[in-house]
Structure 1
């Protein structure tokens, strides 16, 4: 675990020196009484003991909380994720043998309405560390044994990132336990949950404060530049900040460098580029703190893509210009959707519905045209003695005719479905409680059951039996909330393949039966075999493109958007690389930009370029 945390530390660009972020107590209305936290009863109003310190003192502060339950609040860019890594590493490096091991759990994938905290942690441990699935005593696996024995210290990161409506349930579930833990959150989400429920029982609460000018000077003077001559440049800038704090240039710079994000980006950017540090004090160029902040954020990608990923594996080398353009497209895409969640199944959703229908219709037409043309050539070769050129012309005309019909059919199917079916047949993480998911699955099974009865009357009992069996399997084939985008995409691909095969098994025999019925039984089974295979394969792929989220992902994110230059051809590889570099972070089955300010900057720049 220590090795893993060190790699993440490097990934986040948190090499020494560390930024001197401070934590302090919060309002008493957010904290349990100190007697409830486990401290001695005081005659004074004892909401909490004063927990004040810096990042490097967080372990000592946590140990001073008798209950071992600590909540850390902080605004975006204030350093919450950095603090969890600092805590985990500090605990492991200074802890005694036999103490619990801190494990950072991203809370976004927890559904407190269906799963207890203990069961969810055990599931996460088994998924992340396969060896913990090995059996232990009393019928438990190793993960369950470790959690039940108190050998895992949960560091629950991102309370604010729980699904909508889950904060209240999660706070109640956490209050119902006495498990030692560290919980991080943005203040707004935690305050709202406390006002609805109550404070987290027996927990102390601290918040991360803004950096002072002294903190900024202390950090930037210790940053080791690639060119030692740049150290004197920082000295002159910081001297201006110290000697003339009321000047417009100093006010702009001090206002901008209030959060660890901005200070770390400025320190890294100006230590690795040839930019003139004096420009930070140029009020003619940067008249407001917002303009200066935007200028510093423009260097964030340059810093990230100069740094090698922590795992040092084989990675694509993305140029800075292309990477920043693609990130800008994604940021603009999220801005148009009004969300911070970069979900793979929504990539391309900002294209007009007509454009998406056209793309899916064209791909379905191409697929069906190729299949129909090949089937025509094969069938005519076996039944006629026509020349090759004639066979090819007939095959081409047949493929063109069937392709146009299929493209129109599946394009309209997507157009009037408006993506409804796609997002619900793909294993997209349901935000509703488990009972609602089961109800939806039951409705699906009933609908397909009715269709099976109609099919039994029109096409034959074999198709009906096939579809009824598949509908029964599909009702229990809900992957639920996946814990990573790649796993979720894999589950959606399997699910899409499941339904595509279902349509192959239904359409194929139906066409064979229809062809034999029209033939009057004069010939054998081979009369309908080729048309059956054509229709089955073409309909299966067409259904996958128009009626599953994975099909829409392939059509838009893997073909159309890369073809038009909006995204790279290997989208997931690019997103994973951006995550390893610290530009994106993983929140359950979706990605998010590590810093909302950087996302907003990229969206503005992309709109300006467009």
Structure 2
């Protein structure tokens, strides 16, 4: 027996003992003790959940399971990033040629272009444990080159699976690289659990593609390089991107990455910019653009557009609109920074112009993007995850809102059952808050472990898992069942109390076990989108609600049997509305607020918390009521990009520009 289980047992025995003494000394008034019973059950369940969570580790996967997982992961990554590359126009009819220069002493050719990816891929895969650092200016196309290289690696059989991971949010001084890597792979690809992610890494079957070393705080970048040098083995391959200036500062403070080749993305040559524009100009704008390209200031304009990000912005703000391109010639006289700011500022105007593809007006879209950008900056991340939207709310706002929903649900159920005494109403509210407090305690006061879920009713190969889930949940339900047995013993007598307690344990174990078995973490890989994750988690929430209500119906029949059929005394008939309303209310609140793994095993459900957060922000004017649709459209338009199951602004410069106050842009 672990120390956790022993501690949980001692504390639970103390709580049950206190209940017995309290009932013996204070009497048997049902309404006065109902809240205490429910709350004590929550606390006891939390204690056993805490104990079980630190118990036996998951079994190590076999070699065949690891190979199969790598194949499934490769297919999901290929599907996701092929679609994302198409959304970024990396396969366009007029692709932009991006050149690169290798630093001296590397295993790469001295020079190459994005049209010659073999010159990067072949040397990179020629030996085990090779590493590549891709550097360049902001918006130079580092991420795009990394994505194209990923897709090329996936098309070559027998190579480790490249896994794209944003470095934003990693704290290398607090979290070791391997721990962070395993956690992120499991988060971005929930079909791969942490044990499998560790096995894939140890077997050398994955190549992490770490994007945005420069997005780490300045104080953490050198520590990240030190971590990588100390953690990577001789067979561990890696691709990492970073801005040039930040990279130079890092290697001045820390050692360069061991065994790594460094390739720097070149600025797009003025001739290539002019050629790209000439090929991309639509027929309706040919005359205006010919005049611009023939102007003596065209070379200076091309120099200001020497990065793929700027050329993409130019396409969206000028080539695909009726905007006069001569504005750029006037702006270039004030310097390249003015051109960049004009393009960044004009993106939302161009994409959300009246009569365009968008359903929302420009001013609202700009305001919402600004709020979301500032929210991400406050969090120190680039990842916009819908199940973490509650972090944009004031502290404790989401738990209080869900507590209000729970209290309203319990009160309504009591009223419908005809329980109208003031003390019953007070206790009903206390019951709801006990659930909220139990959840908060189980989370350590936070909601950071939330993840979207989906329903999987497949029986093939999962029968033993179902039996194990039911047995485990019966074990966790036993402490609460003991509390109800004590209460029933005082109210009804020992014979009925044992039946009521056992019935509660069996019903709770079966209901929670079935729902827990039927739900799986939503795999954000493949072609899945955040909107599909919202839909999947909503379906899972409704499943919990259905099972909760069904369980309450069965509990009501049991209450009828013990309260009316076994002994139809007047006192028991009078207590029946309390039993019925309490069972229904507790079941509904449990289904609404907690994950089916119970108060001991998981936090709030993602979808209800997301709905509460979205409506709060909508009422404050911070986001649209149809936020999922708005973000999905922004991804289609190119303002956002999808990385795993989250959105990011297309570029850090765009996020920072939208976050800035109106007058400072």
Which band: TM-score by shorter chain? Answer: 0.5 to 0.7
Of 183-192 and 353-362, the range deviating more from structure 2: 183-192
Corresponding residue to 1:83 among 145, 166, 174 = 145
Cα distance between partner residues in 2 of 1:293 and 1:62: 33
Question: Over residues 13-32 of structure 1, what are the superposed CA-to-partner deviations in whole Å (9 max), with x where a residue is unaligned?
Answer: 34243333221123x6xxxx
Give, in whole Å, the separation in 2 of the partners of 1:116 and 1:155: 8
| TM alignment of 1:323-338, pairs within 5 A | 323-338=365-380
Give the drift of 1:470.
Answer: 9.2
Pick the aligned partner of 1:223 from 274, 280, 287.
Answer: 280
Give 1:11's aligned residue. 87
Q: Is 2:108–2:119's contact at 8 Å kept on the other side of the alignment?
A: no
- 1:278 is aligned, of 322, 326, 330, to 326
**Structure 2 residue 447 is the aligned partner of structure 1 residue 423:** yes
Q: 1:593 aligns with which of 619, 639, 649?
A: 649
Cα distance between partner residues in 1 of 2:568 and 2:615: 40
Aligned partners of 1:80, 1:445: CA distance in 2, in Å? 53
C-alpha spacing 1:186/1:457, structure 2 compared with 1 (3 Å): farther
Q: Is the Cα contact below 8 Å between 1:452 and 1:464 reproduced in 2?
A: yes
Distance change >3 Å, CA 369–CA 418, structure 1 → 2: same
Match of 1:113 in 2: 178
Offset of residue 589 of structure 1? 4.0
How far 1:79 moved relative to its partner? 1.1
Q: Tell me the CA shift for residue 279 of structure 1.
A: 1.9
Structure 1 runs not aligned, ≥5 long: 29-45, 128-143, 307-315, 380-393, 430-443
Partners of 1:421 and 1:47 lie apart in 2 by: 49
Using the alignment, how far apart are the partners of 1:575 and 1:277 within structure 2? 29
1:36 alignment counterpart = none
- Cα distance in 2 between the residues matched to 1:196 and 1:474: 50
* 8 Å Cα contact 1:496-1:551 kept in structure 2: no
Matched, 1:67 2:124: no
| Aligned equivalents of 1:296, 1:368: Cα separation in 2 | 54
CA contact (8 A) 2:160 2:206 kept: yes
Deviations 1:405-424 (CA, angstroms, capped at 9, x unpaired):
47994898599879855525
Q: Structure 1's 185 and 351: CA in aligned 2 closer, same or farther, altered over 3 A?
A: same
Computed over aligned residues only, the root mean square deviation of the Cα atoms, in angstroms, reads 6.0
Contact 2:212 2:240 in 1 (8 A): yes
Aligned partners of 1:449 and 1:471 also within 8 Å: no
Residue 603 of structure 1: aligned partner: 659
Q: Offset of 1:595 from its aligned partner?
A: 0.7
The residue aligned with 1:388 is none
CA contact (8 A) 1:557 1:567 kept: no
User: Structure 1 residues 166, 126: CA separation in 2 closer, same or farther (over 3 Å shift)?
Assistant: farther
Do the aligned partners of 2:162 and 2:207 also contact (CA within 8 Å) in 1?
A: yes
- Cα distance in 2, alignment partners of residues 411 and 275 from structure 1: 57
Q: For residues 224 and 275 of structure 1, what CA distance do their matches in structure 2 show? A: 13
Deviates more, 1:295-304 or 1:261-270: 295-304
- TM-superposed deviation, 1:349: 2.6
Q: 1:12 Cα shift?
A: 0.7
Matched, 1:257 2:317: no
| Cα offset, 1:206, TM superposition | 1.0
How far apart in 2 are the matches of 1:173 and 1:223? 46
| Aligned counterparts of 2:180 and 2:544: Cα–Cα separation in 1 | 27
* 1:517-528 matches, cutoff 5 A: 521-523=571-573, 527-528=577-578
TM-score, reference length from structure 1: 0.62
Distance in 2 (CA, whole Å) between partners of 1:189 and 1:468 is 55
Partner of 2:101: 24
Structure 1 residue 296: Cα displacement: 0.5
Matched, 1:158 2:220: no
- The answer to whether residue 347 in structure 2 is matched with residue 300 in structure 1 is yes
Report SS of the residue matched to 1:113.
helix
* Cα distance in structure 2, aligned partners of 1:572 and 1:416: 27
Aligned length: 512
Structure 2: 5+ residue stretches without partners: 1-74, 171-175, 193-198, 454-472, 489-496
3-state SS in 2 of match to 1:227: helix
Query: Where do 1:8-407 residues align within 5 Å?
Result: 8-14=84-90, 15-26=92-103, 46-48=105-107, 50-64=109-123, 66-67=126-127, 69=130, 71=132, 72-87=134-149, 105-108=163-166, 113=178, 156=209, 158=211, 160=213, 175-177=233-235, 184=241, 199-201=257-259, 203-225=260-282, 226-236=284-294, 239-242=296-299, 254=303, 256-282=304-330, 289-301=336-348, 318-319=359-360, 321=362, 322-353=364-395, 356=398, 359-376=401-418, 405=429
Match of 1:578 among 604, 629, 634: 634
**In the alignment, is the contact (CA less than 8 A) between 1:427 and 1:488 conserved in 2?**
no
Correspondences of 1:403-552 after superposition (within 5 Å): 405=429, 409=433, 413=437, 420-421=444-445, 423=447, 426-427=450-451, 457-458=486-487, 461-462=501-502, 463=504, 485=530, 490=536, 494=540, 521-523=571-573, 527-528=577-578, 530-540=580-590, 543-544=593-594, 548=604, 550=606
Tell me how far apart the structure 2 counterparts of residues 603 and 525 of structure 1 sit (CA, whole Å).
Answer: 59
Secondary structure class of the residue paired with 1:347: helix
Tell me, in whole angstroms, the C-alpha distance in 1 between the residues paired with 2:241 and 2:643.
14
Q: Distance in 1 between matches of 2:225 and 2:532?
A: 25
SS in 2 for 1:57: coil
Shift of the 87–527 alpha-carbon distance from structure 1 to 2, 3 Å rule, reads closer
Cα shift at 1:270:
1.2
Distance 2:475 2:366 in 1: 48
What's the offset of the Cα at 1:53? 2.0
Output one character per residue of 1:419-449: Cα deviation in whole Å (capped at 9) or x when no partner: 85552563489xxxxxxxxxxxxxx999998
Between 525-534 and 187-196, report the one with greater CA deviation.
187-196
* Higher relative contact order (CA closer than 8 Å, sequence separation 6+): 2
Separation (CA, whole Å) in 1 of partners of 2:249 and 2:506: 54
Secondary structure of residue in 2 paired with 1:293 = helix
CA distance in 2, matches of 1:445, 1:301: 54
TM-superposed deviation, 1:177:
2.2
Please say if residues 98 and 266 of structure 2, whose CA atoms lie closer than 8 Å, have aligned partners that are also in contact. yes
TM-score, L = length of structure 2: 0.58
Distance 1:400 1:325, change over 3 A: farther
